[in-house]
Amino acid sequence: MAEPKLLPDNLKGSGLSSSGSTLEFRLLDESLLDAICQLECEAHAFPWSRKLFSDCLGVRQPCVVAFNNEHIVGFAVVNAVAGNAELLNLAVAKKNRRQGIARALLQHVIKAVTPYADTLYLEVRESNQSAIALYEATGFVEVGTRPNYYPAAKGREDAIILAYTL
């Protein structure tokens, strides 16, 4: 019997950031692509392309967008198949950082993928200590590294592989 695939509707909903902001979680749609690509470029030195985000419009790797008062404050891209899930990308708008939005997005994704997977994996830049601290505080543990995985200003950078048992 085939494993159930992550249903995009599981990614819709609402939540609260640790600062008390109400968040609404919606799926990425065509009308949000430009704003998500702009947030991605603001958040990452080596951003995903518009094509990668366009691929998130289907159900294979849905992108959940976090809104506060109708303003996009962050997003997460996730995939769940064959008993495993992977957080592919997570970003919060610079002006909305340190408000618990990344934590709320992460908790929302964990809840959404729990019926479909036993483990949630992610890769994070070795230099991204604030993200690593967030993931470890949430219960992720290091399970490996991918040497020279990410492009960097000078050469390549290792990825730390983290796992969360659902």
pLDDT in tens, 92-122: 999 989 889 999 999 999 999 888 889 999 9
- For the chain, residues with pLDDT lower than 70 are 1-8, 59
Residue ranges per structural domain of the chain: 8-117
The CB-side HSE value for 156 (13 A sphere, CA atoms) comes to: 7
Confirm if 72 and 65 have CB atoms less than 8 A apart: yes
Q: Annotated catalytic, 123?
A: yes
Separation between Cα atoms, residue 103 and residue 140, nearest integer Å: 12
Helix (H) and strand (E) counts for the chain? 4, 8
Q: What is the DSSP letter of 95?
A: G
Q: What is the DSSP letter of 30?
A: G
Which member of 123, 150, 157, 164 is catalytic? 123
CA angle 89, 94, 100 (to 5 degrees): 75
Which class would CATH give 8-117? alpha beta
User: What's residue 1's pLDDT?
Assistant: 39
User: What's residue 61's pLDDT?
Assistant: 83
**How many other β-carbons are positioned within 10 Å of the β-carbon of residue 102?**
25
User: What's residue 82's pLDDT?
Assistant: 79
User: What's residue 2's pLDDT?
Assistant: 45
User: What's residue 70's pLDDT?
Assistant: 92
Which member of 40, 86, 121, 135 is catalytic? 135
